[in-house]
Structure 1
Amino acid sequence: MKEAYVKHNIENNIATIEFFHPEQNSLPGNILAQLAYTITEVGNNAEVKVIILKSGGDRTFCAGASFKELIAINDAETGKVFFSGFANVINAIRKCPKFIIGRIQGKTVGGGVGIAAATDYCMATKFAAIKLSELNVGIGPFVVSPAIERKMGVSAMSQIAIDANSFYEASWALEKGLYASVFDSIEALDAEVQKFAEHLCTYNPEAMMEMKKIFWRGTEDWDNLLAERAAISGRLVLSDFTKETLKKFK
């Protein structure tokens, strides 16, 4: 079994950041922290003009937060820190001065949908169905919903948040604006992501940076907002309902 990692490489002004976890790319706190740090560091590298964000493997893009860590939460502060992991990644993407292209090769759940929604331009395969499953265990997608709402609108976000048992197909996510395009295979996806990244490198980096500021206008309070949302989840995960529900998964 492969070890979890966050790694990156830079070639011809294109940085590729890749994360991986052997449990369907679910992300524990240490990997989320590494990912947020890497996005920030790479984004501040003058050599980099555009960033591709991807996960390892050929199946699930991201299964959300680490379930083992979720079950182990026993106090509100630990809960807030746990749920702040995805908040920190989303805020790192938001503040990054470079365009970030999301490459979504397969299903994505919970926090993974939030990461996809936070990227500036997102492409996927037809296998990249999405689900917000948080309500199933007595919490909700509080931390990631601002990013999803920003990209897809309140209606689409609330639909998948309430219908927590269902995967929504990539074609639906395309229609709602999460994905810019959907491809039949990973090979086709990778070819187009690379082609698109190379094309972006021909643009004025200063113009792209200024455009990104405009795209994210109105989110300046997200450091505080997402921390507040993490605290809500951290409180709810200690509720009798959630504790009893989580026991079924042990």
Structure 2
Amino acid sequence: MKAYVTLKIENKVGYIEFYHPNRNSMPSDVLSQLEQTIIDAGKNDAIRVLVLKSGGDRTFCAGASFNEVVEIEDEDAGIQFFSGFAKVINAMRKCPKLIIGRVQGKAVGGGVGLAAATDYCLANIYASIRLSELSIGIGPFVIEPAVSRKIGKTAMAEMTIDAESFFSSEFAKNKGLYAEVLPTTEALDMAVKTLVSKLASYNPEALSHMKQVLWEGTSHWDVLLLDRAKISGKLVLSDFTKKTLKRFR
């Protein structure tokens, strides 16, 4: 299957789904589509609440596309690529609709950032998480504000430093990334549907104001995340990172 980003509306709920055949990794074109889809959904009066999900099983998002990252040859291209994650997170942050995350499998790097940028996230038992960036020569700089906001600096540091380990879905729940962990994907989908059905029946003005309250104190992220993208954009050009990425390609 080819990569895609889709928006489907059912009963005042907008379901945004992204997919890439390589474990739902995120090349720049998918990131750009996802950003614009979130922006458009936020302006759609037919939608009261959003669900962010990915296609396929057992992998929610593998983070940055190594195939694209390894081809980056100059700093501007590196900054542009990592700005894609910054723009998606900021689009989620500024979207006037509550965004519910549905994580059906492993989340790595930028995938953890996407889960953290949702307003409320549900997962299944397969939804372990890993921040592998230091092990490949960069770091989770762009997603750090979103992840630290959800799980705290201490847990963020633990995951970042132990970069080659997966942390369980229960760890993610205990630290606040997931609100609930369900035993199966079917149970996860039922829980998501039940939650968003309730939210879609609530006062949309109240939901919008609540969204603003939840993200108070983050208006500086427009600048902060792009500054963080510059750090990754430089580091990705290092010999260490190039050699490491070629092994995983």
Fold match by TM threshold 0.5: yes
Once the two structures are superposed, residues 27-82 of structure 1 have per-residue CA deviations (whole angstroms, 9 ceiling, x without a partner) of 10000100000001011101110001100011200000111111001111100011
Q: Distance in 2 between matches of 1:3 and 1:23?
A: 10
Q: Cα distance, 1:111 vs. partner?
A: 0.2
The residue aligned with 1:65 is 64
CA distance in 1, matches of 2:160, 2:29: 26
| SS of the residue 1:124 aligns to | strand
Q: Is the counterpart of residue 77 in structure 1 residue 72 in structure 2?
A: no
Matches within 5 A, 1:90-239: 90-239=89-238
Q: Which residue of 2 aligns with 1:29?
A: 28
Q: 1:242: Cα distance to partner?
A: 1.7
- Contact kept, 8 Å, 2:66 with 2:248, in 1: the verdict is no
Matched, 1:248 2:244: no
Structure 1 residue 226 displacement after superposition: 0.5
Secondary structure (helix, strand or coil) at the match of 1:248 reads helix
CA distance, structure 2, for counterparts of residue 248 and residue 129 of structure 1 = 23
CA drift of 1:97 comes to 0.2
Aligned residue for 1:54, secondary structure, equals strand
| C-alpha distance in structure 2 between counterparts of 1:135 and 1:83, whole Å | 15
Unaligned regions of 5+ residues in structure 2, if any? none
* Identical amino acids, percent of aligned pairs: 58
Deviation at 1:225, TM superposition (A): 0.5
Helix, strand or coil for the counterpart of 1:107? strand
Does the 8 Å contact 2:24/2:62 carry over to 1? Answer: yes
Rounded Cα–Cα distance in structure 2 between residues aligned with 1:16 and 1:148: 23
Alignment of 1:42-53 (within 5 A): 42-53=41-52
- Secondary structure at the aligned position of 1:101 is classed as strand
Cα distance in 2, alignment partners of residues 236 and 19 from structure 1: 27
Residue by residue over 1:184-222, the C-alpha shift from the partner in whole angstroms, topping out at 9 and shown as x without a partner, is: 100000001000000011211111111111111111011
Instruction: Encode CA deviations 1:148-198: one digit per residue, 9 max, x unaligned.
Output: 001111011111011100000000000000000000100000001000000
Q: CA RMSD in A?
A: 0.8
Q: Is the 8 A contact 2:136 2:241 kept in 1?
A: yes
CA positional deviation for 1:248:
3.1
Q: Is the 8 A contact 2:5 2:30 kept in 1?
A: yes
Distance 1:95 1:68 in 2: 30
Task: State the Cα distance separating 1:244 from its structure 2 match.
Answer: 3.0
SS of the residue corresponding to residue 217 of structure 1 reads coil
Gapped regions of structure 1 (runs ≥ 5) = none
- Taking the aligned partners of 1:44 and 1:195, their CA distance within structure 2 comes to 24
Q: How many residues align?
A: 249
